[in-house]
Amino acid sequence: MSANYKNWVPNGMIKGLTAGTVVLGAGTAALLCTKMNPALKTVLAGTAGAGTLVFGAMTAWSVYAHDKFSYDGKRQLSREIVEGTAKYFTLPEGGIGLDVGCGSGALTIACAKRNPHGRMIGIDRWGKEYASFSQKLCEENSDSEGVANTEFHQGDACKLDFPDEYFDAVTSNYVYHNITGVNKQSLLRETLRVLKKGGTFAIHDIMSESRYGNMRQFVDELYDEGYEAVELIDTTNGMFMTKGEAKILGLSGSSLLVGKK
């Protein structure tokens, strides 16, 4: 059985939006055919028609995004991002790595494959927003890929249940921008807190200034604190995706923070 990494745009979302479009469209048509006060009909039909257009546009975007992110589709953007991030992740012999917000286990498993001499731990809270993702799914995917050097646990990215400098490498992919009400640079620091001196990191997210603040300054701060290497790489310039794809998919500002502590 092959691994099932799911899709960042769930099928249930597409079905719900499609149903909403159909219902609103039918309602608009029914209102136009109903005998009532002309002014009231205009308001009601106009409102329903506008709703139809909005739901239709959301449905079209969801179908487009689902196709781009699908592991079985032609574009396979998710696979490209996961494998591209994993290339920056290195474990020493017998080392332990951490994937924060592992979702369906894709990045954890990709890193484990590239570092068979080490061990990977993936953590996630597996909330209701991504109800189809779970610890069981991660374990099943790891088994399907024939990977034995992984383990998965419930965890909180805001407060990692590990001591300082515990891991030899840390990684994460498109997680922190989803966490509301928390300073994103603080989340980065919490992840880097558990990284050993000399350990490597590869963290990919939408690091736009509106979400993350001044990341160039953050890079300088890490250097000032003694980090050996820090680089912020724009992944929307053809590395993982084009700027056009990033804009349509809402991923503008996507960057990879890599380096060595």
Question: Would you state the pLDDT for residue 160?
Answer: 98
Is the pTM of the predicted complex or chain greater than 0.85?
A: yes
Report the pLDDT value the prediction gives residue 102, as an integer from 0 to 100.
97
Q: How confident is the model at residue 74 (pLDDT cuts 50, 70, 90)?
A: very high
d(CA 220, CA 198): 18
pLDDT (tens digit, 9 = 90+) per residue, 116-166? 999 999 999 998 777 789 999 999 999 999 999 999 999 999 999 999 999
- Average pLDDT along the chain: 94
CB neighbour class for 56 (10 Å; exposed up to 12, middle 13-18, buried from 19): middle
pLDDT digits (tens, 9 = 90+) for 162-203: 999 999 999 999 999 999 999 999 999 999 999 999 999 999
Q: Could you give the CA distance from residue 207 to residue 205 in angstroms, rounded to a whole number?
A: 6
pLDDT band at residue 68 under the 50/70/90 scheme: very high
Q: What is the CA radius of gyration of the chain?
A: 22
Specify the pLDDT at position 197.
Answer: 97
